[in-house]
Amino acid sequence: MAKILRIAVLSAFLASSAVAIEASAAPPLESLAVTASSLGQKALDDPAAFAFVESLTTEIGQRLAGTEAHKRAVAWAEVRLRQAGFENVHSEPFTFPAWIRGAESAEVVGPVPQHLAITALGGSVATDANGIEAEIALFRSYADLLAAPPGSLAGKIAVVTQRMVRAQDGSGYGAANPIRRSGPSEAAKRGAVAYLLRSLGTDSHRLPHTGALNYENGTPRIPAAALAIPDAEQLERLTAVGPVRIRLLLTPMAHENAPSWNVVGEIKGADRPDEIVLIGGHLDSWDLGTGATDDGAGMAITFGAARLIAGLPQHPSRTIRVVLFGAEEMDFSGAAYAKAHEGEANKIVIAGEADFGARTVYSVQLPPGAAGSDFGRTLGRIIAPLGANIDRRPALGSGEDIRELQAGGVPVASLHQDGLDYFDIHHTADDTLDKIDPKQLDQAVAIWSAFTYLAAASDVDFRSLAATAK
């Protein structure tokens, strides 16, 4: 694949470049595009990104924020960034409420005894030491749970088995997210003593998908866990046999004010070093797998892109800052970063997080007004032969860690990766290195390197493009 792409990139670029030179007097973007395009080609054969995630998942493995393993990952990342030629490598500490998984098990007690594959949701409180045993109230849709009157679930374990939709853009996850995030408190409001949901996933394996919940203030906190998808379907069938009783045991622990770190490395800008192109992924992972695709891959992609740029004979004008966020899964590192860099937000030209797996980028969304600008058109020509387009609709957001920056006025880009099978393994024990296709990962590095270089080497001003677009 790499060879075919390389030839396509070259010829496509030369053709478009020639046209552009004829049409106008070689605008700066056109000359930068030659470098951006060759970075993209180089990325297709660069083993650095895969080596990054291979080393991380092998030598560290899981790295849930708040664990010793995450601490080791922070040290590993600093070494890795320095070795790759990044400058100003450091870790910025913050504290957050950590959550550590304990024992977890669930059994159907009746009508017929059976084991259930479950995993606690991040942030869940523990059950009693001996577990909870109760009859279930099963809802095939979340709307049905919300329609249940207060008190109607008194003493019961609420179970929601709504299916999540498979979609390339991950929209099924967004739509289903409240079932996991808000379901526990909604069930508690109606009297439930515990909450189970069909995993937010698209697979059919006995490997449940964890993920964070958000308890509502003023509502009792009840233990909550995700069922593997075959187990959710089994409960649907069992309810037809007779009343279903479940014994649930969860013994997680919470630790207020646990330490974490956002790890930073930079490629200092040659001309305007105080203007920043901020890219990155998150270093923390869930604890069930080794966090290969979530988010070893995202870090590897942005690291790989920045590293290629660092290897150029001359640094781009602006600084490229790679941030490896330290508590994304618990929703804390983005806020910590934004708060620590409040005074600097207006210097961040654009920000983007890669946090959607290891597959190819198929479209790039830019801030409002940028898709149709010289910047957007030039980037579009570079990435088209690599298999990606500029989506003319503006980026609505980027990764979770960028949300607070965006709220503070920082323009964001969203590089969409193919997520059709992302939720087969997302937040499960199956998130391991073997799920990554190095060739697809390299294509993502190619798109990110072209985008990042063009943003850092040009004088594109996304804020004024957005203002003009209004």
Kind and range of the H or E element at 69?
Answer: helix 68-83
Q: Compute the least distance from the CB of residue 233 to its own copies, in Å.
A: 6
Q: Which is nearer to its own copies, 289 or 419 (CB)?
A: 289
CB of 119 or CB of 398, closer to its own copies: 119
Nearest-angstrom CA–CA distance, 435 and 305: 21
Q: Which helix (H) or strand (E) holds 210?
A: none
Q: Which CB, 235 or 456, lies closer to its own copies?
A: 235
Identify whether 295 is preceded by a cis peptide bond (ω within 30 of 0): yes
Binding site for its own copies (CB under 8 A): 54, 57-62, 69, 72, 111-115, 117, 204-207, 229-230, 233-234, 237-238, 241, 289-290, 428-430, 432-435
Nearer to its own copies, 16 or 428 (CB): 428
CB of 220 to its own copies, least distance (A): 32
> What are the angstrom distances between the C-alpha of 55 and each of 46, 134, 294, 307, 450?
15, 45, 15, 16, 25
Q: How far is the CB of 198 from its own copies (least distance, A)?
A: 12
To the nearest whole angstrom, how small is the minimum distance from the Cβ of residue 47 to its own copies? 15
Report the b/e string of 358-385 with b at 16+ CB within 10 A.
Answer: bbbbbbbbbbbbbbebbbbebbbbbbbb
Q: Which amino acid is at 104?
A: E
DSSP 412: B
Tokens of 7: 């030839």
What count of other Cβ atoms lies within 10 Å of the Cβ of residue 240?
A: 8
> What is the three-class DSSP state of 138?
strand
**What tokens does 169 get?**
């853009």
For the chain, give the longest Cα–Cα distance.
Answer: 79
Phi, psi of 468 (to 5 degrees): -65, -35
165-203 exposure pattern, b = at least 16 Cβ within 10 A, e = fewer: ebbbbbebbeebeebbbbbbbbbbbbbbbbbbbbbbbbb
Whichever of 101 and 416 has its CB closer to its own copies, that residue is 101
The catalytic residues are: 328
* Residue 59 beta carbon to its own copies: minimum distance, rounded to whole angstroms: 6
Q: Are 287 and 243 in contact (CB under 8 A)?
A: no
- Angstrom distances, CA of residue 118 to CA of 140, 199, 232, 403, 415: 18, 9, 10, 30, 33
Residue 205 or residue 377: which is nearer to its own copies going by CB? 205
CA–CA distance, 247 with 255 (Å, rounded to integer): 26
* Shortest CB 75 distance to its own copies, Å: 12
- Which lies closer to its own copies via its Cβ, residue 105 or residue 389? 105
Write the CB contacts of 374 (distance below 8 Å, at least 6 apart in sequence): 27, 29
Nearer to its own copies (CB atom), residue 210 or residue 428: 428
Cβ of residue 194: shortest distance to its own copies, in angstroms?
22
- Radius of gyration over alpha carbons of the chain, in Å? 24
